[in-house]
Amino acid sequence: MMNDWAGLPAAYGDVLRRAMDSLFRTFENFSEGTFIVDADARVVWINKRYAARFGFADPEQAIGRDCEAVIPNSLMREVVTTGKPILLDILETDREPLVVTRLPLKDDAGQTVGAVGFALFDELKALTPLFSHYSRVQQELIATRQSLAQARRAKYTFGSFVGTSPASLEVKRQARRAAQLESPVLLLGETGTGKELLAHAIHGGSARANQPLVTVNVAAIPDSLLEVEFFGAAPGAYTGADRKGRVGKFELANGGTLFLDEIGDMPLPLQGKLLRVLQDKEFEPLGSNRIVRADVRIIAATSADLLALVAAGRFRADLFYRLNVLTIHAPALRERLADIEALAYAMLEELSTQARGGRHFELQDDALRLLCSYAWPGNVRELRNTLERAVMLADSERIDARALAPFVGSAQGGGHRPYVPEAVSVARAANEATGAPEPASWSDAMAAFEKRFLSEALRANGGRVINTATQIGMGRATLYKKIAAYGIEV
Ligand SMILES: Nc1ncnc2c1ncn2[C@@H]1O[C@H](COP(=O)(O)OP(=O)(O)OP(=O)(O)O)[C@@H](O)[C@H]1O
Ligand SMILES: [Mg+2]
């Protein structure tokens, strides 16, 4: 390739040569550093300042070496290989980063014979605003990445699962085994039995521990948003949503673990899509033509009776069997009373460190007996809530049965709002309106009342189970069970 100026009159050629010469010298003088490499990216020349910056007291010591051996992260090899300049770039160094320009050097035939690089920062103050903007954005990115990585790390380990009863030891044994394997894990068990804790421990104990653990609480996200939440969306894929597009949880979890909490609440169409992703290991974000590979390990959890949901046609049997490979049943607290003492003490320890004035709580024997005589429908979570309240109002650090009794059974499911009289009267009115027959016994009356009360509350919340549970102060899982037991339509 001939240069455009090949045919210039001799005098003009001289000006041009001077221009090139002075351009080089100007850059050389004003730049933080200049260096030249040959066609094999070996250093041919480097100015003193630049050589010194990279630890060569004498520039001669750098001559003949590979460019990367002199300037780590140098991209001069790319320039000599492609023959294309990199006009503006940022070179990370172990001191502050440098703004650099890299230009190929060509012979008369257009062959790349080398390249010249200038580090512009420091002298070219005009670049400072751009550069400080870059630095700030870079800092923010690092901070955000760190906090995200923190959030996506397992919060609990197997050690966090307190309990040495045979049932607890068996659960831990199964969970440890699951951590060694790659197949999906299904965690079953009543509310508050530690399913989430186990999911974290399994991820944290697996080969994927250094990769993200991403959680989707299926019950907490409206059905209409779930698909995007899972698979993401291309920019502008749907109206009213992020214009920039959205990265789905599957993609975020790539290489790591996706924890699907409350999987029993997944709408049927999405169950089909999930099954396909589990089979094909790839998917397309909404509205995009992009295929995303998903190397994701699934841990699913639910307190619902999945088999009953399958039988009722609300959960796909094929998805159930796909997930039901390594199934772990977290035992109810009442099935491992032997753990109550250790659990209670672990919790009191934690509460003591949180309490002001360094209080140290102790359980009297009668208090422990009381804890062991209760059925704990809300399991470990309920035990925690109970102790927390008792401790908050305790006069003494030695907690006996009398101090504890008012709180046992009052904290079920974490919700503690009393029945609201208006809601009761609504239910009563509904009862009268339907002309329901007089119930035969107290328990029938209570059941009839409860069914109406729940139906009303659900209707008032547009059928949203989570909102209803919060409003009436009942645990979600309990509400789900009652809906199934009474056959309430939602
Ligand atoms: N074995 C255990 N040792 C110590 N803490 C536990 C144990 N099991 C549960 N917990 C604690 O009890 C609370 C509830 O546990 P977790 O959220 O894991 O239950 P879950 O089974 O996921 O409940 P849900 O079905 O309601 O979501 C958490 O604070 C957790 O740390
Ligand atoms: Mg949970």
Q: Given pLDDT bands bounded at 50, 70 and 90, which one contains residue 8?
A: low
Residue 467 belongs to some domain of the structure:
yes
Q: Which pLDDT tens digit goes with each residue over 356-370?
A: 667 788 899 999 999
Same domain, 179 and 325: yes
Identify the pLDDT of residue 258: 97
Same domain, 462 and 404: no
Identify the three-state secondary structure at position 103: strand
Same domain, 26 and 116: yes
Q: How far is the CA of 13 from the centre of ligand 1 (A)?
A: 81
**269 lies in which domain range?**
158-236+245-329
What are the φ and ψ backbone dihedral angles of 354, each rounded to 5 degrees?
-80, -30
Task: Count the Cβ atoms, other than its own, within 10 Å of residue 109.
Answer: 8
Same domain, 34 and 105: yes
Residues in the chain: 490
Instruction: Give the predicted TM-score (pTM) of the model.
Output: 0.62
Residue from 156, 157, 174, 196 whose mutation best tests the ligand 1 pocket (most atoms within 8 A of CB): 196
Same domain, 168 and 308: yes
- Using CA positions, which residue lies closest to atom 2 of ligand 1? 161
Q: Given pLDDT bands bounded at 50, 70 and 90, which one contains residue 66?
A: very high
Taking residues 138-167, report their average pLDDT: 84
| Residue 414 Cα to chain centre, angstroms | 25
CATH of the domain at 168: 3.40.50.300
Which of these ranges, 264-273, 414-423, 446-455, has the smallest mean pLDDT?
Answer: 414-423
Same domain, 208 and 325: yes
Say whether pLDDT at 344 is over 60: yes
Say whether pLDDT at 235 is over 90: no
Residue 132 belongs to some domain of the structure:
no
Query: CA of 270: how far to CAs of 121, 217, 465, in Å?
Result: 53, 14, 19
Q: Given pLDDT bands bounded at 50, 70 and 90, which one contains residue 194?
A: very high
Give residue ranges with CB within 6 A of ligand 1: 160-163, 189, 191-197, 303, 330, 343, 380-381, 384, 477
Rounded Cα distance between 435 and 8, Å, is 106
**What percentage of the chain has pLDDT greater than the value 90?**
48
Residue 59 belongs to some domain of the structure:
yes
Same domain, 165 and 300: yes
Encode 424-455: b = buried (16+ Cβ within 10 Å), e = exposed. eebbeebbeeeeeeeeeeeeeeeebbebbbbb
Residue 304 belongs to some domain of the structure:
yes
Rounded Cα distance between 217 and 162, Å, is 24
Identify the pLDDT of residue 434: 42
Say whether pLDDT at 135 is over 80: no
Identify the pLDDT of residue 82: 94
What are the φ and ψ backbone dihedral angles of 43, each rounded to 5 degrees?
-70, 125
Same domain, 275 and 379: no
Q: Which pLDDT tens digit goes with each residue over 165-188?
A: 999 999 999 999 999 999 999 999
Residue 345 belongs to some domain of the structure:
yes
CATH of the domain at 476: 1.10.10
Identify the pLDDT of residue 427: 36
Taking residues 67-82, report their average pLDDT: 93
Closest-lying ligand to the alpha carbon of 171?
1
Same domain, 321 and 187: yes
Please give the mean pLDDT across all residues of the chain: 84
Residue 175 belongs to some domain of the structure:
yes
CATH of the domain at 397: 1.10.8.60
Q: How far is the CA of 445 from the centre of ligand 1 (A)?
A: 34
- Residue partners of 313: CB distance under 8 A and separation at least 6: none
How many domains are contained in the chain?
4
Q: Which pLDDT tens digit goes with each residue over 83-122?
A: 999 988 888 877 777 888 899 999 889 999 999 998 876 5
Q: How far is the CA of 164 from the centre of ligand 2 (A)?
A: 22
Helices (H), 152-288: 166-180, 195-204, 223-231, 249-252, 268-280
Closest-lying ligand to the alpha carbon of 194?
1
- Using CA positions, which residue lies closest to atom 13 of ligand 1? 381
Residue 268 belongs to some domain of the structure:
yes
What does the angle CA 293 – CA 296 – CA 299 come to, to the nearest 5 degrees? 150
336 vs 149, residue with greater confidence: 336
Identify the three-state secondary structure at position 370: helix
12 vs 241, residue with greater confidence: 12
Rounded Cα distance between 104 and 81, Å, is 9
- Using CA positions, which residue lies closest to atom 9 of ligand 1? 194
Task: Count the Cβ atoms, other than its own, within 10 Å of residue 216.
Answer: 22
Same domain, 100 and 118: yes
Same domain, 185 and 321: yes
Same domain, 343 and 317: no
The β-bridge partners of 438 are none
